[in-house]
Structure 1
Amino acid sequence: MASKAQAAKEQGNSAFKSADYVAAIGHYTKAILADKTDPTFFLNRAAAYLKLGKLEDAERDCTSTLAIDPQNVKALFRRGQARLGIGKLVEATQDLKAALKQEPNNDAVKQELAKVENVFKGEKQSGPSASKPPRRRVPIEIVDDGPPPVRKLVPAEASPSRASAPFEKAPLFQEAMQNRDTLKSTKVGGGLFRTNGNHSLITPRSKYPLPEEEPDKAAPPSSAFAPHAYLASRPTSLFEFTRAWQSTTSAEHRWKYLCQFVDPAALPQLFDSNLEPSMLLSILETAQEMLSGDAGAASKVLSYMDGLSKVSRINVVLLFLNNEERGVVRRLCDTLGDAARVRPWKSVL
């Protein structure tokens, strides 16, 4: 187990030197799975996480390193870097001071600690108290100590109108009723309207009856599902392949597109080092569904699995699959039999 862990570590170091940090993380993870007692594996993976900007993961791996080796200066330094990026300034200061206590002449630790102190100073200068304007005294002049003058409300004089004049002299309700009965109502006449309500502008609706409405006709039957236009041409890039693949959720259309326009031997060049786990699982699930309906498709599925096995970093992609995702690979291999139980698929079984 120790030899396997060391071999994986060396592979990770080689990938790290080549700036292939994703592959380095995969190799360091294999080393950790083989031997969880060596703090170097966690520490190296933390360095790769820092390069990718995955600060929380780097902090966690440094903490794992310090659980094994509490005096590890590199772990304190890298965790201080990660915590500074996250915004945990107090914890970052504690880590960097602890590292500087062990190595007082470490310039890298001094520079990182100076960064934290500068951030602290910037926060103090831009704090809430600094943004408040200074208070000023405003003189208050007392105009009058006495109570405010009382104003008398004078009712406005009612303007008499012709219609309301008879009611002004009626002191009693009965007299008002009599006055109301004696008023003459005004009539509307002349122009377009008549006193009887008839008019000559708008033609009555009854003269022009609406045509009888036809009963609702049944909607024409919808046409059969037609594949998207993206599925009708050979992809010239991974972008075009992904766009075509995602333009439909039909396993049948996806499989026809794959068999018609993508040769299994072209898969390594098509995906290069950009094959995502989600795309790999989608292809394998499509193949599984086609096998369920057509056992004769086994040879075609095996040819595509062989092409996928030659894609760059396929081992890293399989390494990061969870148990449920690994189950997709297992079910497909169980359906195909021993012919599919080869590398790299064998590592998932």
Structure 2
Amino acid sequence: MWLIITHMRVLTSDLLTGLVDPAEFDVYLEDALRAYDPERVVQPMRGVVRLGEDSVWLIMPVVDLALDRMVVKMVSEYKGNPAKGLPKAGGLTQLIEASSGRLLALLDSHYITGLRTSSLAGIATKVFAREGSECLGVIGSGYEARLIVDAVLRVRPSIRRISVYSRNPERRREFAAGYRGRYDAQPVTDPGYAVVGSDILVVATDSATPVLDGSTLKRGAHVVSIGTLPERRELDRGTFMKCSLLVADKREAVLREAGDVVDALKAGLISEDKVIDLVEVIKGKNNVHRGEDDITVYKSVGFGYLDLVAANYVYEKYSNTSRS
């Protein structure tokens, strides 16, 4: 059996962090989604492999026939790993030339996921958060939370204050310290302090139970929430009761896979016609009017095409840099 790996690259997170310009990728991703044609993309449902209660693998294949690219991303989460001195999240992404099967690159899945998730969250914030927003609340202090905060700050430079809550006091202090000096960044001892008064709220946890009281959201607030699995529910029912508009990174996936959205639908708190697709907004097919006092919620579960765009971008970036 032959595996075609001629000139294959191994692109680690350390290498990519120094290579990638996140602001440049924001533009690259938005342009790719504006040109997105589902007729040319083969994108099966993601596979889920559970290894006990606290460990899971997700497998996401996708092919862009026009771009001649295929990606197979495997990403893992082992909640018990940090206690062993190991990373909680990991995985591997394969970038393949679709017409030949030639393996072009192996990439760090954790990096690819963080890059595309944060960038799309920033694009959604640019579209739906109020101009002039000054207060940013954060619940969660992990890798993706930091990348999403950075993406929000890129599109809302008006932010002056950041309040961050994490169950781990040391982590929330470290998170806030990373922004202090440039912003009035403070750790808070209760998630409510991150919610009340925030113009934009980033919620990035892996919680199976709600981590905030949505009834205290400020009028006109914009909420960014990420989460993939049906058993996870970081947003409470109060959030959905108050929101005027629920924006999904991929509508059908969010309706099926986001546990907090599924719960709100079953409870009759929202209807499916209240959920809009961000890609349709980017493409100009859904001209949504957002009232000044409307509360908007952006929910992201991710989808394979985002991984393909991110993997191809970093591969092209690396290839162009290597040739220069």
TM-score (norm 1): 0.27
Which is helix-richer, 1 or 2? 1
Q: Which has the higher contact order (CA 8 A, sep 6+)?
A: 2
